[in-house]
């Protein structure tokens, strides 16, 4: 029998319990929606939620009335990741995992078809909330413009903020501007600078496309989604799944705390090796970032040749 003890506290200092977890998750989703819509407003666009009704293709889910009386959409990722105890008895075959695998296969095929012509791609990540008057927006635009002029296609998550800046830079540089949009519990909306838009239901399919069709990641200041792409790429490099793949952290001041923690705690405790720290490049200069991508591309193709 488990001994009854005190609940651990959250990183924010609150007492951790199921009710708090549910409330925090609801708050986090609301805040994500607001950040995304703030990015659209900062660019002078009407947020998707104010343009019309939500997509009818997404079924609804009622969130615990004790927390808030809201009907929320159920995404395909959520349905896939439900553990067996959450599934309803009597669900027809089209709602089961074997059927869902077929849909996942179809999504992979569609992504491969739409992006197969990309020979030189760079994925750019960062906050959806970054406004056009932010220096990081300007830097992302210029970095993407330089890479587009060098013959690279620019791939983003299709949203506002840093993603918009990179897609805009790609267009200004005469390059291909690609957006890989993801189904969320709210309508995210694609920025107007995307030339090729691919919509995904499943995060892991979308993340595969980012890696498969990119020769580098450029990571601008962002939140959990940005961190996710950062550490996924580093793990794939560390484990030898991808090679000669620059991961560029743009904005030294923003990333300084993370780098210090990795050096002083994770490296000191030998959870990573000294070489792992050198898998990341840091810069504040669009030209430096673009140069690092171009040089890595040349080195890779020299080895292939």
pLDDT in tens, 125-150: 999 999 999 999 999 999 999 999 99
Query: Distance from first CA to last CA of the chain, Å, rounded?
Result: 63
In eight-state DSSP terms, residue 184 is -
Which residues on adjacent β-strands are paired with residue 247? 217, 280
Within 8 A by CB and 6+ apart from 140, the residues are: 124, 126, 130, 162, 165, 166, 169, 218, 220, 250
* Sequence ranges of the domains in the chain: 119-304
Q: For residue 201, give the nearest of 36, 81, 32, 64 by alpha carbon.
A: 81
Asked if residue 183 lies in contact with residue 77, where contact means CB atoms within 8 angstroms, the answer is yes
Edge-to-edge strand list for the sheet holding 177-182: 196-200, 177-182, 153-156, 121-125, 217-219, 247-250, 280-283
Q: Which residue has the tokens 């927390």?
A: 67
- In this prediction, residue 25 has a pLDDT band, given cuts at 50, 70 and 90, of low
User: What residues contact 71, with CB distance under 8 A and at least 6 apart?
Assistant: 60, 61, 62, 63
**How do residues 45-67 score in pLDDT, each as one tens digit?**
888 777 764 444 444 444 444 43
Sorted by sequence, the CB contacts under 8 Å of residue 248 that are 6+ apart come out as 216, 217, 218, 219, 280, 281, 282, 283, 289, 292, 293
β 196-200/177-182 pair status = parallel
What's the topology of domain 119-304?
Rossmann fold (3.40.50)
Tell me the whole-structure pTM to 2 decimals: 0.78
- Are 225 and 210 in contact by the 8 Å Cβ rule? The answer is no
- For the stretch 181-220, pLDDT in tens is 988 776 677 999 999 999 998 889 999 999 999 999 999 9
Least confident of 30-39, 52-61, 102-111: 52-61
Q: What pLDDT band is residue 36 in, cutting at 50, 70 and 90?
A: confident
Q: Reply yes or no on whether the pLDDT at 71 is more than 70.
A: no
Give residue-wise pLDDT tens across range 264-290. 999 999 999 989 999 999 999 999 999
> How many Cβ atoms sit within 10 Å of the Cβ of residue 256?
12
């Amino acid at each position: 029998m488990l001994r009854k003890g005190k609940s651990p506290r959250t990183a924010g200092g609150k007492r951790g319990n199921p009710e708090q977890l549910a409330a925090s998750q609801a708050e986090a989703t609301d805040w994500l929606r607001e950040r995304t819509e703030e990015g659209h407003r900062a660019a002078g666009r009407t947020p998707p939620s104010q343009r019309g009704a939500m997509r009818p293709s997404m079924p609804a889910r009622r969130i615990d009335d004790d927390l808030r009386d809201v009907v929320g959409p159920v995404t395909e990722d959520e349905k896939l990741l439900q553990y067996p105890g959450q599934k309803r008895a009597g669900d027809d075959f089209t709602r089961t995992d074997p059927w869902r695998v077929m849909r996942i296969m179809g999504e992979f095929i569609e992504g491969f078809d739409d992006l197969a012509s990309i020979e030189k791609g760079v994925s750019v990540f960062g906050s959806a909330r970054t406004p056009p008057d932010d220096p990081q927006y300007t830097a992302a635009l210029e970095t993407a413009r330089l890479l587009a002029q060098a013959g690279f296609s620019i791939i983003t998550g299709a949203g506002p903020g840093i993603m918009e800046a990179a897609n805009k830079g790609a267009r200004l540089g005469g390059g291909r501007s690609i957006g890989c949009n993801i189904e969320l519990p709210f309508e995210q909306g694609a920025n107007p600078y995307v030339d090729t838009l691919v919509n995904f239901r499943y995060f892991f399919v979308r993340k595969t496309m980012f890696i498969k069709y990119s020769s580098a990641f450029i990571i601008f200041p962002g939140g959990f989604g940005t961190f996710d792409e950062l550490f996924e790429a580093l793990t794939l490099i560390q484990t030898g799944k991808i090679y000669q793949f620059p991961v560029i952290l743009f904005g030294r001041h923003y990333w300084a705390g993370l780098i210090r923690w990795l050096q002083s705690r994770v490296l000191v405790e030998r959870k990573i090796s000294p070489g792992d720290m050198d898998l990341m490049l840091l810069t504040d200069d669009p030209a430096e970032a673009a140069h690092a991508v171009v040089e890595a591309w040349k080195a890779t193709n020299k080895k292939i040749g």
